[in-house]
Amino acid sequence: MKIVNSNEMKEIESKTSEVYGIDGALMMEHAASSSYAVIKEELGNLDGKSILVLAGKGNNGGDALALARYLLESGSTVKVCLVFGEPSSELAKKNLSILRKLDVECVEYSENYDLAKDVKNADVVVDGILGTGSEGQIGKELSKIIDIINCSKYTISIDLPTGMDTDTGHISQSCVKANMTITFGFIKKGMLLYPARPYCGKVKTEKIGIPEKLIESMNLKGEVTTFDDAKKLVPERPAFSNKGTFGRVLIISGSSSYTGTPSMVALGALRVGSGLVTVVTPSPFNTVVTSTLPEAIAIPLPDTNFISVKSIKIIDEIAGKSDVIAIGPGLGTKEESEAIVKYILEVWKDKFLVIDADGLNLISRDVDRYQFNQKMILTPHPGEFAKLTSKDMSEVISDPVKHALEFSKMKNVNVLLKGPTSVVAKPEGEYALNITGNSALAKGGTGDILTGMIAGFMAQGLCAFDAAKLSAYIHGRAAEIYSQNKNEASMLVRDLADLIPHVLREINQ
């Protein structure tokens, strides 16, 4: 599902009006009527409800004022507070004038106005103060107002909660904590990012008359992966098939310190349907794989404690027969391991490659010496990405979309930057956000499962970008299913892997 930033939304609204003749008044009426329908569906009968509408000076305030008229018609008792005084938007002025003619009480906010009393008495508070285009920066007085709003019984934000940056998800010193946000046309990028995401509550996206033809012509770069998107990506399983049909994955993983890691990567690849998974790891640690996951082939390498260039001949033989190579998890950070990563990226650059964990840490020592391409994907968490880019981790977290896209374009490689909202970025500027998952994933080994999943889907024919999108969605959804009946803190990696088939079945149904 497509998402937008503030500039894209402004351009869409402008073209809707200029090219198609659907002016601001029509779009505002669409916004009001659709918002009313959502509120009625969510809250039921509104007759007799006390509703306080807080409106800003611009068109977001105009949307809220137009909505107030629908709420009045439903039998609700409506009061309007003009947070910044009389509106500046002509459309907002028109809707305010209509409300006054309908004898709706409209007050201007001032020090003498007891906002806290009205918020306390209201069944519902509507936040129509600031909308798309807001950068989230607010003054002390508005911060005080927001703190009062956050004491309400139930708050509905129009387009996005006041105090939130539309593009980055940054919040000011105060931000409205909505129970529900009704956004128009598209979800705004910042609503899906942290720290803003929890402030939105339940998100409803409503149409305001934007032509589908216009949307198709816009070449929007951003999306959020939904159930429907995942359904389109899951590879088919033809009846006339064999293990070769579903691809061969080679996993280069493990060391004396991380003997269990290769099994977890292999488990992820097998669970998503890869036909044949081969692990190469130092002897005797291959026996850990065969004893815990006999479905995978585990080849012992003649190395001591960690994989080195001594094993190139064995690795080359298997790599030549493989469709995808996953490298990095549990390798350790010895110089010899760095040499094997460099070798794989140079010699097998035409293979599909997934690079994770220690593979990334080794690359980050001198990232400029490596040549990447679009058959590869790097899957860092923020700490690993900070090393790759020589940035502070707090800077990475502050705008993950920006940093993932910049690095992806600069290095011509796909990137999955993991986090509570994960970002999958392509060199051409396309990106996808994943919002499935929970704190159950904050545990060692879950990233290894994800690495295997991505490799497994790539082996079945998905490009790196699509494989990462689908894997991140399923990975997070499995954690959500676990938490439906059990505590998030208790999930083990094997529990996560065991739920992958449940998610695949859910998608296929």
Domains delineated in the chain:
2-220 (3.40.50.10260), 227-508 (3.40.1190.20)
DSSP track, 150-189: TTSS-EEEESS-TTBBTTT--B-S-----SEEEEESSEEG
Helices 90-101 and 59-73 meet at what angle, rounded to 10?
20
* Widest CA span in the chain: 87
Band of residue 135 on the pLDDT scale cut at 50, 70, 90:
low
pLDDT, the chain, mean = 97
Q: What are the φ and ψ backbone dihedral angles of 258, each rounded to 5 degrees?
A: -135, 70
pLDDT tens, residue by residue, 355-412: 999 999 999 999 999 999 999 999 999 999 999 999 999 999 999 999 999 999 999 9
For 133: left if phi > 0, alpha if psi spans -120 to 50, otherwise beta; the answer is left
CA distance 441 to 107: 48
CA distance 262 to 255: 9
| Prediction pTM value | 0.96
Separation in Å, CA 301 to CA 276, 286, 362: 19, 8, 20
Q: Residue 136: pLDDT above 70?
A: no
Q: Residue 448: pLDDT above 70?
A: yes
| Structure confidence at residue 367 (pLDDT) | 98
Extract the runs of DSSP E, i.e. beta strands, from 283-413.
297-301, 324-327, 352-355, 376-378
User: If you average pLDDT over residues 32-48, what whole number do you get?
Assistant: 97
